[in-house]
Structure 1
Amino acid sequence: MKPVRSLARVMLSGIFVVSGARNLRNPERLVPAAKPVTDKVAPLIQNLHPRIPTDTETLIRANAATQLVGGLMLATGRFSRPAALVLAGTLVPTTAAGHPFWNNDDPAARNNNQIHFLKNLGLLGGLLLAAADTEGKPGLRWRAGHRIDHSRRSVKRAVRTARREAKIAVRSAATARRMPG
């Protein structure tokens, strides 16, 4: 892995590791801001599986743990593409709950939340780039297509060889029949 790629992943993951650890230890402070979002998400989670806890504090902890683990995976380069996708997914509710600038009447608070909202949007863009990064190696789609083309060429070669050998065998048999013996 190139040093720039490694450094960029560590820099991108830092916010998720730090805030994930902080929010995992102390989720109570986020409950008031997160409640409107978790109240909308809870019924969807309940429809998926009724035994999954949907209280706001538990959802904050789950999001925080996901960000902590995903951030560490991204930083270390282990499963970095899936980790980036998961982190992008956690960033959406975090941003909606934490920085709803459209709800602020105070211009200073509105401006502050708008800046943080746009910062998170930038992080989302970086995560999407990290999720798409194949480190210069061909992606799965290209490799599958290349393997299929290679297999087709191999089959065509095998068919040509079999035809050639069949023609040779027919000629040999015809020659053998013509010879007195």
Structure 2
Amino acid sequence: MNIAKVLGRALMAPIMIEGGLNQIKSAEYIGGAVENTASKYGVAGQLPADGKTISKIAGTSMVASGIALGLGILPQPAATVLAGQMVVTTLVGHAFWEHEGDERNTHKLQAYKNLAIAGGLLYAASTKK
């Protein structure tokens, strides 16, 4: 057992679990952002469900995958799912290129943090347990 791998996975899990719980609790608000983003990218009519439902499903997936990652249960698939969700989360919640000034800087920092987390998740997905 490599303690660095175990610790690394365990340290990434809480932010994913908390983020997922937030998506579930704030599904109405986040669902609106999902629908707005889908409209901006011209895929609004292609969503499999309304934004609120998508937010709840994505949140549940984040919680389940975060727990699995933290406990080392199928860590590679869990990390892969979470890395993909970080891309969507960044596009929906932190599109810094659409803002200016301090708001742009805040969203840019959050987007870069998400990229760093996604990088760690991709690394976790590419290494054996």
Please confirm whether the aligned pair reaches a TM-score higher than 0.5, indicating the same fold. Answer: yes
Whole-angstrom distance in 1 between the partners of 2:8 and 2:71: 11
For 2:17, give the aligned amino acid.
V
Residue among 116, 120, 123 paired with 1:126:
120
Aligned counterpart for 1:87 among listed residues 82, 88, 91? 82
2: CA distance, partners of 1:101 / 1:9: 28
Query: Separation in 2 of the partners of 1:23 and 1:111?
Result: 23
CA distance change for structure 1 residues 77 and 42 in 2, over 3 Å: closer, same or farther?
farther
Q: Which residue of 1 aligns with 2:34?
A: 34
CA distance in 1, matches of 2:43, 2:52: 13
* Conserved 8 A contact 1:99-1:117: yes
- Structure 2: segments with no counterpart, 5+ residues: none
Query: Partner letter of residue 113 of structure 2?
Result: K
Report how far residue 98 of structure 1 moved. Answer: 0.3
Work out whether residues 75 and 124 of structure 2, in 8 Å CA contact, stay in contact via their aligned partners in 1. yes
The answer to which structure, 1 or 2, has the higher relative contact order (CA under 8 A, 6+ apart) is: 2
Could you say which structure has the larger radius of gyration? 1
The partner residue of 1:98 within 90, 93, 96 is 93
Q: Which residue of 2 aligns with 1:153?
A: none
Q: Equivalent of 2:61, from 54, 61, 66?
A: 66
- Hey, what's the Cα distance between the residues in 2 that align with 1:86 and 1:67? 8
Which whole-Å CA distance do the structure 2 matches of 1:133 and 1:44 have between them? 34
Conserved? CA contact 1:66–1:90, under 8 Å: no
In the alignment, structure 1 segments of 5+ residues that lack a partner are: 46-51, 136-181
Deviation, structure 1 residue 41: 4.5
Letter paired with 2:52: E
The 3-state SS of whatever aligns with 1:78 is coil
The alpha carbon displacement at 1:44 in A equals 3.8
Name the SS of the counterpart of 1:134 in structure 2.
Answer: coil
2:85 and 2:123 map into 1 onto residues whose CA distance is 16
- Counterpart AA for 1:104: H
1:113 to 2:111 alignment: no
The residue that corresponds to 2:14 in the other structure is 14
The answer to whether the 8 Å contact 2:83/2:118 transfers is yes
Let me know the Cα RMSD of the aligned residues. Answer: 1.6
